[in-house]
Amino acid sequence: MGSLRFPFSLPQLPNPSRWPKPSSFLLVAAAATAGAGVGFAVNVCRRSAADPSEPYRRPFVRPTPIWASVSLVDAPPADTSVEPSTGASFPTSLDGGRRLTGIGLRKTIVLGIKSINVYAFGVYADDSDIKRLSQKYGNVAATELKENKEFIEDVLDQDLRLTVRLQIVYSRLSIGSVRNAFEKSVGSRLQKFSGSENKELLQSFTSLFKDEYKLPKGSVIDLSREQGYVLQIKIDGQDVGKIQSKLLCKSVLDLYFGDDPFDSQAKEDIRSGLASILFE
């Protein structure tokens, strides 16, 4: 085993047999200090959870205090939110000022029996864009606003910048499976909002998911509505294409917080997160 070398010399320590024994007072004081730290941390958490006036926030992973840690295992950064079923973590904000409003999980059923977690997702909204709706909804309580269908319709329909981030959690997922799944789900939304199949528009979207792209576990797909109703698609940070279409943008976003979403609990969380932005 190799030895550790330090770039400085250590002072000669006295013979351990001559060291004074720690007094019982010091031991009791140290234990009391650690206990007080634990009690304080628990009390703060309880106080925060009991205050209903605070705006909704998904629970974030907090760093473990140094005095309470004896493990060398890395913990997720404090500025992330974790999807509990898969452990997939999402930053609380993206470059450009988009804030995480909620996270969820996309599942699928195989052979009508087994449920598989396909990807976790997080929905981000641009603060300044969402606050443009405050003139219309500023007098509506946040608890009522998240249930306000007109508010959600405005978020889906207006030229507001949002990003849906997908993080792959199923290790055997292929890009072809993603393409086929979007063909069905996005295709149904195009039909829902326009009354027609819009095959050409759907094909222009699904064709961006080319076989050359691989999706190992942990891969990230970003679906972003940019200004001018431009849907931008990125895979692991690489820009794979853009399509200008208000209908397509709305159809994609509706999958995650519309009336019939992939994850109903995530829909509620995302809507609460969107509403809370107006009151900050």
Q: Tell me: pLDDT of 33 over 70.
A: no
Pairing of strands 230-235, 93-94: unpaired
The counts of H helices and E strands in the chain are 9, 9
**pLDDT tens track for 187-211:** 999 999 999 999 999 999 999 999 9
Instruction: Output the pLDDT for position 75.
Output: 53
Please give the torsion angle defined by the CA atoms of residues 151, 152, 158 and 160, in that order, rounded to the nearest 10 degrees: 100
Contacts of 164 (CB under 8 A, 6+ apart): 121, 122, 123, 124, 222, 223, 224, 252, 253, 256
- What does pLDDT average to over the chain? 80
- Identity at 39, one-letter amino acid code: G
Distance between CA atoms of residues 183 and 17, nearest Å: 77
Q: Tell me: pLDDT of 22 over 50.
A: no
**pLDDT tens track for 46-90:** 333 444 444 444 444 434 443 333 344 455 566 999 999 999 999
